[in-house]
Amino acid sequence: MRRVAITGMGAISALGRNTAEFAQALAEGRSGIAPIESTSTVQMRFQNGAEVKGYCHTPYFEDRRADFMDRFAQFAVIAAREAVADAGVQFTPELRETAAIVTGSCVGGQSTEDIGFQEVYKHARNRVHPLTIPKTMANAGASHISMEFGITGPSFTISTACSSAAHAIGQAYWMLRSGVTDLAITGGSEAPFSFGILKAWEAMRVVSPDTCRPFSKDRHGMILGEGAAMLVLEPLEAARARGARIHAEIVGFGMSADAGHITQPSAEGAARAMRSALRDASLAPEQIAYINAHGTATAANDPTETAAIRAVFGAHADRLAISSTKSMHGHALGASAALECVATALALRDGLLPPTANYSQPDPECDLDVIPNQARAAQVEYALSNSFAFGGLNAVLALRAV
């Protein structure tokens, strides 16, 4: 089996338009959470989100091309462009034919759908815009990335709610490892800030009225986010041979299903996903030093994730550094795991563990070292990135510093 390197990274989020800005915000523990601007929140129980502030398709896309792309697909291409440029990939005809694209998205272009359906439901018009379907489909991100680079190899999208991008990156990793492909662009993108979607989240009563405080006693829920992150994956040896910069190595991937409740998380399910990732990577729990947590800051997730980490790591849990970067980039649903994978790779590469921002009070039910508020300098060899989705579908990536 081949080793797999991350040679390119791209990120657009509330923390900035590129990976450098993302890294800078994580290093400073600076949150991108602010009043929502994309849609009205007048009748909403929450007002804050982690949006890509002031986003406009120019200068990224010509008007006519942007007409065909929901905001989530635009984010996917913007992040993929940065990742490909960062990797310094030169696409040959052969590489274009074999390269893979695996993306994750939870709601796809539902914002386009939400606005489109208002035409028939609210304005009593008799027609919906003809691009509603191709803009809404969750695979639009992968499709537009393929068109951007002329990639004609295996390309698909995975939708597993908040784990989407982790499942996507995991599939791409396995495809590289087993030799199915020699290059993959993989990650996730999301843009869920439309009135209807926000009202649906409001109804679940899991969104915080102020900010996102993972593992903090006074946490009041998640904060929705948006954006995209994409990675370029290549076989490690080939990447070294062409002199590519290697940000980090992906060494394992594990999945599990809770088979329990459609929304309540299960510590057993989460623990099984972490164990599965460790097994896939042939790692002992004691070799892990940092975990980028799922850490949504809901009442249910954080104690459950704490219990799962304690179950997997035993006494070593007290030596782990853990943080939830959702406190800064928000919960970008199907893009979250990709943003968090980039955050984890940056932590390994730069020797700087990102903090859990907005942390104010210890919670006895979340009694782990969650790197409160201040990034921590530490050279770490192995890390996990956790994602536990609604629907009980869990995915965990294991990364190694190179």
Partner 1 sequence: MSDELIQRVIKVIATTKRIPVEPVTIDSSFEQLGIDSMDAVEILFALENEFDVSIPDDEVRSVRGIRQLCEGVDRLLSAKSAGGKAPE
Yes or no: say if 106 and 161 are a contact pair by the CB < 8 Å rule.
yes
Residue 258: count other Cβ atoms within 10 Å of its Cβ: 21
Stretch that binds partner 1, among 112-120, 130-138, 261-269, 282-290 (CB under 8 A): 261-269
98: contact with partner 1 by CB under 8 A:
no
Q: Say if residue 59 is preceded by a cis peptide, omega within 30 of 0.
A: yes
For partner 1, the closer CB: 3 or 45: 45
Helix 140-149 vs helix 71-87: crossing angle, to nearest 10? 40
Distances (CA, A) of 112 to 33, 73, 145: 23, 11, 19
220: contact with partner 1 by CB under 8 A:
yes
For partner 1, the closer CB: 26 or 106: 106
205: contact with partner 1 by CB under 8 A:
yes
378: contact with partner 1 by CB under 8 A:
no
262: contact with partner 1 by CB under 8 A:
yes
For the CA atoms of 90, 96, 98, 102, the dihedral, rounded to the nearest 10 degrees, stands at: 90
Residues forming a β-bridge with 321 = 290
264: contact with partner 1 by CB under 8 A:
yes
Question: Both tokens of residue 33?
Answer: 């959470």
Helix (H) or strand (E) holding 255: strand 248-257
How far apart are CB 45 and partner 1 at their closest, in Å?
6
How far apart are CB 178 and partner 1 at their closest, in Å?
39
How far apart are CB 206 and partner 1 at their closest, in Å?
9
Catalytic residue among 294, 329, 341, 366: 294
42: contact with partner 1 by CB under 8 A:
no
Stretch that binds partner 1, among 30-38, 258-266, 276-284, 320-328 (CB under 8 A): 258-266
For partner 1, the closer CB: 144 or 219: 219
Nearest-angstrom CA–CA distance, 130 and 344: 40
Based on the residue annotation, tell me whether 162 is a catalytic residue of this protein: yes
Nearest-angstrom CA–CA distance, 212 and 239: 38
Stretch that binds partner 1, among 154-162, 182-190, 203-211, 381-389 (CB under 8 A): 203-211
Given 56, 85, 203, 284, the residue binding partner 1 (CB under 8 A): 203
Report CA 182 to chain centroid distance, whole Å: 23
Nearest-angstrom CA–CA distance, 129 and 306: 46
Q: Which residue type sits at 254? A: G
Given 53, 261, 279, 319, the residue binding partner 1 (CB under 8 A): 261
Based on the residue annotation, tell me whether 294 is a catalytic residue of this protein: yes
Stretch that binds partner 1, among 34-42, 118-126, 255-263, 371-379 (CB under 8 A): 255-263
Q: Going by C-beta distance under 8 Å and a sequence separation of 6 or more, which residues neighbour residue 151?
A: 91, 96, 99, 100, 101, 145, 185
Which residues ranging from 142 to 161 are in contact with partner 1 (CB under 8 A)?
none
Under DSSP, the state recorded for 102 is E
For partner 1, the closer CB: 48 or 103: 48
Stretch that binds partner 1, among 171-179, 257-265, 309-317, 351-359 (CB under 8 A): 257-265
Nearest-angstrom CA–CA distance, 135 and 87: 28
Nearest-angstrom CA–CA distance, 387 and 160: 10
Given 204, 241, 284, 378, the residue binding partner 1 (CB under 8 A): 204
245: contact with partner 1 by CB under 8 A:
no
For partner 1, the closer CB: 220 or 310: 220
How far apart are CB 305 and partner 1 at their closest, in Å?
16
Based on the residue annotation, tell me whether 341 is a catalytic residue of this protein: no
Yes or no: say if 312 and 274 are a contact pair by the CB < 8 Å rule.
yes
Stretch that binds partner 1, among 105-113, 139-147, 190-198, 200-208 (CB under 8 A): 200-208
Given 88, 150, 179, 209, the residue binding partner 1 (CB under 8 A): 209
Catalytic residue among 106, 144, 162, 212: 162
Best CA proximity match to 215, nearest among 365, 8, 88, 114: 365
300: contact with partner 1 by CB under 8 A:
yes
Nearest-angstrom CA–CA distance, 233 and 399: 13
Yes or no: say if 342 and 86 are a contact pair by the CB < 8 Å rule.
no
Catalytic residue among 144, 247, 329, 331: 331
Question: Both tokens of residue 330?
Answer: 């928000």
Q: Which residues make up the interface to partner 1 (CB under 8 A)? A: 45, 203-205, 209, 220-221, 261-264, 299-300
The residues carrying an active-site annotation are 162, 294, 331
